Amino acid sequence: MSDRLAESTAPPPPGAPPAPRWRRSSRSTGMNNCVEAALLRGALLAVRDSKDVRRPPLRFSAAAWNTFVDGLGPDGAEPRIFT
């Protein structure tokens, strides 16, 4: 996966958590038709659709995400473990 920083026009307010570092697959075509993921505080993973980044992301525990990726199997995707 390659890094892609979330776009922001203003700095976060003092004491706010840092902006998530959104990542997408390096196999993405660049046409905004992919899923992006970011690690959040508290061992959570956020997932969003790159077509509309303003919508709230889905949030998963690291264990739930790893179970999902493992369930894809060898033909579905390369395993990506977030810890």
Q: Is the pTM of this model over 0.85?
A: no
More confident residue, 27 or 37: 37
**9: pLDDT strictly greater than 70:** no
Rounded Cα–Cα distance for residues 65 and 63 (Å): 5
Model confidence band, residue 79 (pLDDT cutoffs 50, 70, 90): low
Cα–Cα distance for residue pair 53/5, rounded to 1 Å: 12
CB proximity list for 51: less than 8 A, separation 6 or greater: 32, 33
More confident residue, 23 or 32: 23
